[in-house]
Amino acid sequence: MWPVKATILTGPRRSGRTLLARSFVERVGGRLFDNADQREEEELFHAWNQAQDSGRPLVMIADVVPPEWTPALPDLRTRVAVTPVVRIGLPDDTLFSALIQLLFADRGLHIPAEALKFMSERLYRDYWSVERAVEAVDRYAIAERARISLPTIKRALVEAGMIDG
């Protein structure tokens, strides 16, 4: 039902954009171009046209989107300009807390509620930072043979330079 059988997916790195796009194209038999804004323009031009002709969607993952992404190939530039853009934003409070819990759970660890609140309120709110923070806490806890607690998390994040002491 898409009027244009292509879309540009953008968002912060580590936000799951490639995983989301892969899942979608597998279900619909589409095609995926990761880092589309860095790819060979002629190949992307032909893939865009093929998507329109075949009706099988093309998903282009890009760090930048029009007007910042301006292909040199004029025909591709016009096609990219009319392609819908879907954006994954930075995590809100609820998602950020859930990500912290999930990443600790993936390591078989439980984070106490007060420590979760502490991390949620102090860390830079992006996907990469939460991954780095959980890894820093886990490494620190292993090295110090400490349980995951608010004091352990504070010390780990200060030592990692992720929060001020």
CATH of the domain at 11: 3.40.50.300
Residue 59 falls inside a structural domain: yes
Q: What is the pLDDT of residues 70-83, one digit of tens each?
A: 999 999 999 999 99
Taking the whole predicted model, whether its pTM rises above 0.75 is answered as: yes
Looking at the DSSP bridge assignments, the partners of residue 32 are 59
pLDDT value at residue 72: 94
The pLDDT mean for the chain works out to 94
Domain match, 19 and 83 both: yes
Q: How sure is the predictor about 1, in pLDDT bands with cuts at 50, 70 and 90?
A: low
Q: What is the pLDDT of residues 107-132, one digit of tens each?
A: 999 999 999 999 999 999 999 999 99
Q: What are the E-state strand segments in the chain?
A: 6-10, 31-33, 58-61, 85-87
- CA angle, corner 11, sides to 7 and 16, nearest 5? 95
Domain match, 37 and 82 both: yes
> Is the CA virtual torsion 88, 131, 99, 94 positive or negative?
negative
Q: Quick count: other Cβ atoms within 10 Å of Cβ 51? A: 23
pLDDT at 165 > cutoff 90 = no
Give percent of the chain with pLDDT exceeding 70. Answer: 99
Domain match, 99 and 133 both: yes
Q: Report how many domains make up the chain.
A: 2
Q: What is the pLDDT of residues 29-55, one digit of tens each?
A: 999 999 999 999 999 999 999 999 999
Domain match, 71 and 104 both: no
Find the domain containing 123 and state its range: 93-159
| 87, 115, 144 - which closes a domain | 87
6-10 and 58-61 as β-strands: parallel, antiparallel, unpaired? parallel
pLDDT value at residue 3: 81
